[in-house]
Structure 1
Amino acid sequence: MGSLGDWPEPVVCVQSLSESGELVIPGQYIKPQSERPSFFLKEMNIPVIDMTGLITSREETMKQISEACRVWGFFQLVNHGVGIELVDSVREIWREFFHEPMEVKQKYANTPKTYEGYGSRLGVEKGAILDWSDYYYLNYLPLCRTKWPAHPPSLRELMEEYTNEILKLGAVLLKVFSINLGLKEDALQNAFGGKEVGACLRANFYPKCPQPDLTLGLSSHSDPGGMTFLLPDEQVFGLQIRKDNQWVAIRPARHAIIVNIGDQLQVLSNSIYKSVEHRVVANPDKQRLSLAYFYNPKNDILIQPISELITLKTPALYPPMTFEEYRRFIRTKGPRGKFQVESLKSQR
Structure 2
Amino acid sequence: MPIPVIDFSKLNGEERATTMVQIAKGCEEWGFFQLVNHGISVDLLERVKKVSTECYKIEREEEFFKNSTPVKRLKELIDKKSGEKLENIDWEDVFLISDDYEWPQKTQGFRETMMEYRSELKKLTEKVMEVMDENLGIPKGYIKKVLNGGEGEKAFFGTKVSHYPACPHPEMVTGLRAHTDAGGVILLFQDDEVDGLEILKDGKWIDVQPIANSIVINTGDQIEVLSNGRYKSVWHRVNAKSNGTRRSIASFYNPSYNATIAPAPELIEKENETVNHLCYPKFVFGDYMSIYTEQKFLPKEPRFQAVRAV
Give your verdict on TM over 0.5.
yes
Q: How does 1:25-44 map to 2 (within 5 A)?
A: 44=1
Match for residue 272 of structure 2 among 308, 313, 316? 313
Counterpart CA distance in 2 for 1:148 and 1:326 is: 28
Structure 1 range deviating more: 83-92 or 236-245: 83-92
TM, length-normalised to structure 2: 0.85
- Name the structure with the higher helix share: 2
Partner of 1:158: 113
- The SS at the match of 2:300 is helix
Partner of 2:304: 344
Contact preservation (8 Å) 2:165, 2:246? yes
Partner of 1:137: 96
Measured at CA, do residues 102 and 79 of structure 1 come closer, stay the same or move farther in structure 2, by a change above 3 Å?
Answer: closer
Measured at CA, do residues 153 and 331 of structure 1 come closer, stay the same or move farther in structure 2, by a change above 3 Å?
Answer: farther
| Residue 341 of structure 1, CA deviation | 4.3
1:269 equivalent to 2:227? Answer yes
| Residue 104 of structure 1, CA deviation | 9.2
Counterpart CA distance in 2 for 1:299 and 1:189 is: 14
Partner of 1:46: 3
- The SS at the match of 1:68 is helix
- The SS at the match of 2:272 is coil
Counterpart CA distance in 2 for 1:147 and 1:216 is: 28
Q: How does 1:1-348 map to 2 (within 5 A)?
A: 44-56=1-13, 57-101=15-59, 129-140=88-99, 143=100, 146-193=101-148, 194=151, 195-311=153-269, 312-313=271-272, 315-316=276-277, 317-333=279-295, 335-337=296-298, 339-345=299-305, 347=308
Contact preservation (8 Å) 2:193, 2:210? no
Counterpart CA distance in 2 for 1:184 and 1:101 is: 45
Contact preservation (8 Å) 2:288, 2:303? no
- The SS at the match of 1:208 is coil
Measured at CA, do residues 133 and 180 of structure 1 come closer, stay the same or move farther in structure 2, by a change above 3 Å?
Answer: same
| Residue 345 of structure 1, CA deviation | 4.5
- Give the aligned length: 284
Partner of 2:78: none
Measured at CA, do residues 51 and 104 of structure 1 come closer, stay the same or move farther in structure 2, by a change above 3 Å?
Answer: same
- The SS at the match of 1:52 is helix
> Identity of counterpart residues, as a percentage?
35
**Code of the aligned partner of 2:9:** T
Measured at CA, do residues 45 and 79 of structure 1 come closer, stay the same or move farther in structure 2, by a change above 3 Å?
Answer: same
| Residue 328 of structure 1, CA deviation | 2.5
Contact preservation (8 Å) 1:120, 1:134? no
Per-residue CA deviations over 1:297-346 (Å, capped at 9, x if unaligned) read 1221111111121122362222222222222334334x315x13454157
Instruction: In structure 1, list runs of 5 or more residues that go unmatched.
Output: 1-43, 110-117, 122-126
Structure 1 range deviating more: 258-267 or 206-215: 206-215
Contact preservation (8 Å) 1:76, 1:256? yes
Measured at CA, do residues 275 and 102 of structure 1 come closer, stay the same or move farther in structure 2, by a change above 3 Å?
Answer: closer
Per-residue CA deviations over 1:42-61 (Å, capped at 9, x if unaligned) read xx211111011111111111
Partner of 2:83: none
